[in-house]
Chains A and B, each alone.
Chain A
Amino acid sequence: MAAALICVISVAVFLQFFVSYCRSVLAVSRKVELSDRVREVSGIANRSVGADDFSKLVQLVHLCPEQGDDETEIRAVGTYYGLLRVMKYFSTFLIPGFGPWTERERQSCSHFAAVALDRRISYSRDLFTQQVADRT
């Protein structure tokens, strides 16, 4: 009985902490302006990052060499994005007012992925420059 109670409370608290953590990570990345380079690479040169761009941006992120310190956060935000997709699906039937909020959150997830891509592109360029300098 005690174990079941602890399990239920832990799941509820975990969801609350996890969502707040992801939102704090997204809030930090929202302040970062995207460079023209990442806009060009991801095909969003003439528009803002869309809610559905997340998967494409994460695929591009995984094509770049890893920096080694942001993989866990990308996975955490990916899980949050999946959770939002499920919520969006159910909100269309149950709570229609939830739709615009999930759309904004998904857009923030895409922006986070674009910022991660920007960082990795910069890192790749630095690596390339360093290699060229080492050869000469």
Chain B
Amino acid sequence: MVELGQNLHFVGMVLTYLLWGAILKLRETRTRLIQMVLALGVYFSATACTYALRNLFPVLQPAVLRWVPPIMGVWLPIAWAYTFAKVSEDSRLATARLVARAR
């Protein structure tokens, strides 16, 4: 069951990463869309990492790792609610600025 969760969330993470790559390539500027995809990426990557750690170190499960999936489950709707509540539909953002390296 843990391995299935790990693999499913990893696939979700890879697909979200591809979606993020497409957003960067197409120079999508809608802030709402960008924040929703990034929040989804945070959710899938954190959950996949947690399941992988559970697989590697089962001893960590009762103390630490059991809390991460529920926390991430709350994170996603709250992050999306914040995006809809605080970011206007017309808001635009240059994606190049988000991945800009330090100069």
**Chain A residues packing against B (C-beta within 8 Å):** 3-4, 6-7, 9-11, 13-14, 16-18, 20-21, 23-25, 27-28, 69-70, 72-73, 97-98, 100-102
Asked whether, in the complex, the Cβ of B38 is within 8 Å of the Cβ of A4, the reply is no
Count A/B pairs, Cβ under 8 Å: 91
Separation of A38 and B11 alpha carbons in the complex (Å): 45
Write the nearest CB–CB distance from B77 to chain A, whole angstroms: 10
Separation of A14 and B72 alpha carbons in the complex (Å): 12
The contact size tier of chain B is 35 or more
B residues in contact with A6, CB < 8 Å: 6, 10, 48-49, 52
Write the nearest CB–CB distance from A118 to chain B, whole angstroms: 13
Over the window 9-27 of chain B, the binary record of Cβ atoms lying under 8 Å from chain A Cβ atoms (1 yes, 0 no) is 0100100110010000000
B residues in contact with A102, CB < 8 Å: 102
The answer, among A11, A14, A20, A72, for a CB contact under 8 Å with B78, is A72
- Among B46, B49, B81, B93, the one with the most A-chain Cβ atoms within 10 Å of its Cβ is B49
Separation of A57 and B75 alpha carbons in the complex (Å): 23
In the complex, 24 of the A-B residue pairs with CB atoms within 8 angstroms, ordered by the A residue number, are A3-B3, A3-B56, A4-B56, A7-B53, A11-B49, A13-B13, A14-B41, A14-B42, A14-B46, A16-B41, A17-B16, A17-B42, A20-B99, A21-B35, A24-B31, A24-B38, A27-B93, A28-B31, A69-B85, A72-B78, A73-B79, A97-B103, A98-B102, A101-B102
Asked whether, in the complex, the Cβ of B82 is within 8 Å of the Cβ of A72, the reply is yes
